[in-house]
A and B are shown apart, each in its own frame.
Chain A
Amino acid sequence: MALPLKATFALSLLFLFSLMLAASAEEEFSEELLLKPLPDRKILAHFHFRNEAPLAADSFARHHHLFPKSISQLVQKFHIKAMELSFTQGRWNYERWGGFDPISSHNAKPPGVELWAVFDVPQHQVDASWKNLTHSLSGLFCASINFLESSTSYSAPEWAFQSALGSLRYGTLPREAVCTENLTPWLKLLPCRDKAGLSSLMDRPSIYRSFYHSQRLHLIMPTAVSDGSKSGIILEQTLTVVLQPNNQKASMNHVGETKIQPSWSLSSIFGRKISGRCVLAKLSNIYLHFERGLVTQLDNLQKKSSKFAANDTGPEAFRGNAGFELSVTPERVHTELEKSSSVLYEYPIKEYKEIEQFDLGLTWKHPVVWSSSHAPLYASRFLMGSGNERGAIAISLKSTEMTKGLVSANNVEERCKLQVNVLQIVPWYVKVYYHTLQLLVDERPQVLADFVERMRVSPSEDKVSPGVMELVLQFPCEMKSAVLSIEFDKGFLHIDEYPPDANQGFDIPSAIISFPDFHAGLQFCEKSQSKSPLLSKLQERSPVLSYTEVLLVPLTTPDFSMPYNVITITCTVFALYFGSLLNVLRRRVGEEERLLKNKDAKKAVFLRRMLNKLSAKLRGRPSESTPSPPSSSSSPFVSPKLILRVLMVAGIAVAWQYYSQ
């Protein structure tokens, strides 16, 4: 008896323990907003929502408290290991808005829709899962993501994303228009929707008036350290917008003087204020981020105007500076470890009363000019050539001030190398000749093998799969510029393969240029280590990634009324051909001549007969030459019946004409 008792005790203990475990790993939701002034008088607003749910064996069947069920079902059904979906409008300006910070390498996305997913299924089921996933997402987000189902529109790159060999699929739809219909289902995944909390700032007109707008959904299944099994689902939803604070004074252009940055507040850029946090959120913060360049400039300003009280070190000091002033005192300030480091002001959101809503404002006092940090190489891509026959794609990489710094730092050591990964996907109707890949470094043609570390090419297959080219390049750090060019022929599509508005041209999706040796991440002091997901995201060391422009290739398009013309012309040609062929086959020359002669003879006979008949009638007696009775009655030309019929038809016609007028 003791044994079963012991067993039940142990079981109940286990049960209790597991319950406790479940309680400890509860569903969590946090909302954060990062604001960052950009060098070209614009503001970056980055909303970051994180939803975390534990993963129990039965959790998929269970009702979730905060986590959206549709997403968890998606994960369960398609065995997704990781997934990212982004809807973007506008272009991220790598030059002005920076390309070397976590925001730009995570949230700068190519225009349109981009989707990648990693599946936890056997190799042969991956494509099927992908196809089903695209359809589900298409329904979930009111977008035509289902066009990614076709095998011509997705591919399986291997090196661009570090994770998951083989089971990753990647596809983009550059022409997808993004609008509120995509935002609404995205907001529905949030526990407070846009009714409370930070998401209530999302005023549709001001969001869609932005210069860049990217909404992103990122699913991760973190694996537990101990046994490698999945421990939960993390859903990250981010919305990145670049806004221009509307400032009447700024629209006046003053040539020759540096313009002062426009002052702004939350209410002026979004048209709304924050009335409170989302009560379901564990964390609700607003951050204001000053990047390195700006902080340096501000420090310089501060030094210049040193009459400002230098000994003032309270929190009030953070509120203002010689260069700027904040309307609200930050709760906490995070500074980076390095000497000239970026600064992050933190504002936790509390419940506010009706009258005093939270409205963060920034007023600039002096013009400040700074520039964002750039990726090691500035990548741009363009088309070359003209005409409907062939062309070339060129990717040009130019060094930035960042690589110059590298050279000066590393010149004592061995030759420093700069690794660049390039992923280029081209649709099948752009027939790329991979052997024409040329590399020019510093305007001199170079042997490709000297610079290419690894290369993976899967040529496109007509109407089946796109062409994928992955390159791992090693450049010397002192390189000024490099150009990769590759030639292509423009293919012909079948008439029903043309998309609507085919005369616009066809898109070549963005190439992805990544720098695996460089990591964009901010390092904050230990003490400021908080539980904030956004901060940990910013501190995450992730490779620098940038997307190139989408290209538009004009292909030969038929005149789309052409099918009709073609049908008529081919029918005519066929009719003529078969007609004459049959004519020739049927005809026998000798026979024809004989017939012709006969006809001539008959004609003569007929004439004579008619004459005879006429004379006989005139004479008033039956002619003797009418041998058969039918000939007398049914001579077609004199038949009274026929005349009667003709007269009747004519009468009807005349009557009709008369009546109709």
Chain B
Amino acid sequence: MGANENNSAKPRARPIVRLGIFLISHSNIVSVVCFTAGVVALLLLPILAKNTYISENALMPGSANNMLSTHHVSDANKFIKDLTDLEFRSGSSPIESQKLIAHYMSALDAEVTFHKFYPQFNHFHPLHFFTSPDSDIISENATCSSFGINTFGIIRAPRGDGKEAIVLVTPYNPNKVGLGEALSLGIAYSVFSLLSHVTWLAKDIVWLVADSQYGEYSAVAAWLREYQAPAFRRVDIVNSETCNESSTFNELGQDLYLDGKLYGGFRRAGTMAAALVIKVAEQGNQYEDSLNIYAEASNGQMPNLDLINIVNYLAVHKQGLRIKVKKMWSLLGSKWLNTLGVIFESLGRIARSLNPQWKFGIPATEYVEGAATLASSLYYQGLGVPTGPHGAFRDYQVDAITLEISPKVSLTKMIRRNEFILRGGRLIEGVIRSINNLLEKFHQSFFLYLLTSPSKFVSVGVYMISFALLVAPLPIVAAYLHSNASNSTPQNTSALEVDASHKSWKWLNSARKVLVIHLWGVVVSLLPFFLCQVPNTTPTTNFILWGSLSASSLLILYLILGSPIFEAAVSLHEKNKWASLKSVTISTAFIGLSLMSVINFATAEIGALLIVPICLLARPLKLDTQARSWRTLLRASCNLALGFIGFPPVAFVLLKGAFEDFYGINVSDYWNWLESLWAWNSATYLYIGVVHLPCWALCINILFHPC
């Protein structure tokens, strides 16, 4: 627009500038094209996914024969039997089972240690986002009675130098031993008993039986804290005089160290190379034994893809396990996705008929599965909450995954159980052997990826495209609005000189408004911290309290800073004020999304899908209704709908409905969800509070702008 007028008078600008001006002047088309392209690119991701491959040559999975024999399995069975018998025996304390485990471990010449910990309940520490867990924080309400005991054994590699270790974790609740937990312990035991006398071991093996009565994650996290960042100072809160229970712990220790073992302290074994969490699902109703892999750690961090690859390779090619990663089940049946799949399939077929070299079509069913897996991958990465105890390892830069093996039928039958343990054990053995081969730490393969199936992935270079396309219109539209707002005024001004200086800084006014709203966002996201201090509240009341407090704080802001911000000023430029406000809003949204994409890509991607359309479309309803053409009315209704969707609780309900189901959703769910987010130090919480909510509020403000 601006370019056209000056074209004749001035010499032509350089091509890059011309291109920029061209884009800005056609921002409407550009934004529509970019946004649709972004959505299409996102939908295309299942097709663009590549097959996984083992990148690190040293891993060599499956190149050695399995050494785990039925002999080890029968040992494991004996162990399981002893463990479950202990459970049935009345009057046995939970300590007994730990003793038993320790006994079995030390019989394998492992160095056994008990680790007593006080569960650290997650609290909202506003300033502790992104910081590594601090060893000094000890939960205030740690009482004498509530402590857990982790039991762990270390097998030293016979000829190794002890610099590195591989960790096996089996969560286990001593108060209530289910068959699944007992079996997972059995699998770990069979592997452990094999590893205690193999000659090829180069890294030490640590088997951690994590006491999961206060949650699997907190037990593993407590152990890791002790391992990596111990507090040597004595815990003064809990002194031994007041606690009788700790004497049982001491007795536990005494029992073990009598027989020639010397060192009663916490034992360590080098730098951790990788960790595997083994779980057995109680009852699987599938057609075959299957293996679920959980990999997402906090803030969407993933373990190295090679770790998933070796598990996948060994499970599929060696043990014949059906491998699964999480899927959005609700998406599997959706019709629109299926049609999309069919369309892509036919497109692929056409392309292949044109040139047989082009192979990008995949079958529709595969597409739907891929999309469902991708959606879940995005969702769980975006949530930023670890999907299992493996998340604790990622905080210390250790690659870890959780393997949940689910049996085909009930495991009460002995023969079936033996086979199951053999298969599971051999899988774990193979994975450990592979990691044992590894000379360097995992670095070769991808860390940034989305899975579309256990054997297919989308790397960062591909999935960035859709996000880049989604956010690309934002700066262009902002520039367009800015130039438009500053250029459209001069026609009706008399005092040009005064206005020119005023006009160029006019956006600062809008920027101030945007800044204040963002500050409000910060306040809103800090409010739960204070709400948590109020005792005896239900989530519903908390949520209502929070909502009303946020609204009232907005009102207070309005009252205090009312005149410069919300004042319906009667200036001449009022007409364009919304445009400059929108321009600044869009810029901040762009900056926020870009920053978030670095911290947690999946959040940024989902957030962009929600916030970008409203940002691009927002336009005062008054203007649209005044125009009264079908186009403006459509836009107005679109705006209203998008504005409704963009409201965080509504977006949450919709997402939850889409991915899980609508059944039984109530207001308190949102509060619980947010509580879990901040408890896990998820950056998504910050994103919602500091970027999404203010941008949404500003867009709504623009919608209802009086002009």
Contact = CB atoms under 8 A, between A and B. Distances in A.
A552 B163 contact: yes
A394 B156 CA distance: 20
B237 interface: no
A425 B199 CA distance: 32
Contact of A554 (B159, B228, B271): B271
B232 A443 contact: yes
Interface string A202-242: 00000001110100000000000000000000000000000
B193 interface: yes
A8 B336 CA distance: 120
Contact of A374 (B109, B160, B262): B262
A481 B264 CA distance: 11
A48 to B, nearest CB: 23
B441 A554 contact: yes
Given A255-B107, A593-B11, A89 B441 contact: no
Contact of B265 (A369, A481, A504): A481
B263 A504 contact: no
A444 B235 CA distance: 10
B497 interface: no
Given A398-B265, A443-B234, A386 B395 contact: yes
Contacts of A550: 161-163
Contacts of B260: 39, 96, 369-371
A401 B262 CA distance: 8
Given A253-B75, A386-B395, A444-B234, A552 B270 contact: yes
Contacts of A386: 132, 228-229, 395-397
Nearest to A508: B163
B159 A503 contact: no
A531 interface: no
Interface stretch (A76-84, A329-337, A375-383, A607-615): A375-383
A507 interface: yes
A485 interface: yes
Interface residues of A, number: 62
B448 to A, nearest CB: 13
Contacts of B443: 503, 557
Given A255-B104, A370-B260, A90 B158 contact: yes
Interface string B78-109: 00000000000000000000000001100111
B140 interface: no
B158 A385 contact: no
Nearest to A110: B161
Contacts of A501: 439-440
Nearest to A596: B11
Contacts, number: 118
A174 interface: yes
Contacts of A254: 107
A507 B263 contact: no
Interface string A382-421: 1111111000001010101100000000000000000000
B628 interface: no
A93 interface: yes
A95 B270 contact: no
B233 interface: yes
B512 interface: no
Nearest to A597: B11
A513 B419 CA distance: 50
B575 interface: no
B161 A174 contact: yes
Contacts of B233: 440, 443-445
Interface in B678-695: none
Interface string A489-521: 000000000000111110100000000000000
Contacts of B156: 91, 93
B60 to A, nearest CB: 16
Interface string B211-254: 00000000000000000111011100000000000000000000
A385 B228 contact: yes
Contact of A483 (B199, B229, B232): B232
A382 B164 contact: no
B271 A383 contact: yes
B199 A369 contact: no
B271 A253 contact: no
Given A385-B228, A549-B270, A95 B263 contact: yes
B193 A253 contact: yes
Q: Which of A40, A91, A485, A507 has the most CB of B within 10 A?
A: A91
A495 to B, nearest CB: 16
A421 to B, nearest CB: 21
Contact of B440 (A91, A374, A443, A503): A503
B10 to A, nearest CB: 9
A251 interface: yes
Contact of A400 (B160, B234, B262): B262
A507 B268 contact: no
Contacts of B396: 386
A592 B262 CA distance: 88
B262 A256 contact: no
A315 to B, nearest CB: 32
Contacts of A262: none
B268 A91 contact: no
B162 A91 contact: yes
A592 B11 contact: yes
B197 interface: yes
A551 interface: yes
Nearest to B438: A504
A398 B11 CA distance: 83
A355 to B, nearest CB: 34
Contact of A112 (B108, B161, B234, B263): B161
B259 interface: yes
Nearest to A211: B158
A398 B199 CA distance: 31
A427 interface: no
A208 to B, nearest CB: 8
27 contacts: A112-B161, A209-B199, A211-B159, A251-B197, A253-B75, A253-B108, A255-B104, A369-B260, A370-B260, A371-B260, A371-B262, A380-B267, A383-B271, A384-B229, A385-B229, A386-B132, A386-B228, A394-B230, A398-B263, A398-B265, A445-B233, A501-B439, A501-B440, A505-B441, A550-B162, A551-B270, A554-B441
Interface of A: 39-40, 89-91, 93, 95-96, 111-112, 174, 209-211, 213, 251, 253-256, 258, 369-371, 374, 378, 380, 382-388, 394, 396, 398, 400-401, 440, 443-445, 481, 483, 485, 501-505, 507, 549-554, 557, 592-593, 596
Given A111-B162, A386-B229, A503-B443, 7 more contacts: A112-B161, A369-B259, A371-B260, A380-B268, A385-B228, A387-B132, A504-B439
The 5 closest A-B pairs by CB, nearest first: A503-B440, A552-B163, A443-B234, A386-B396, A111-B161
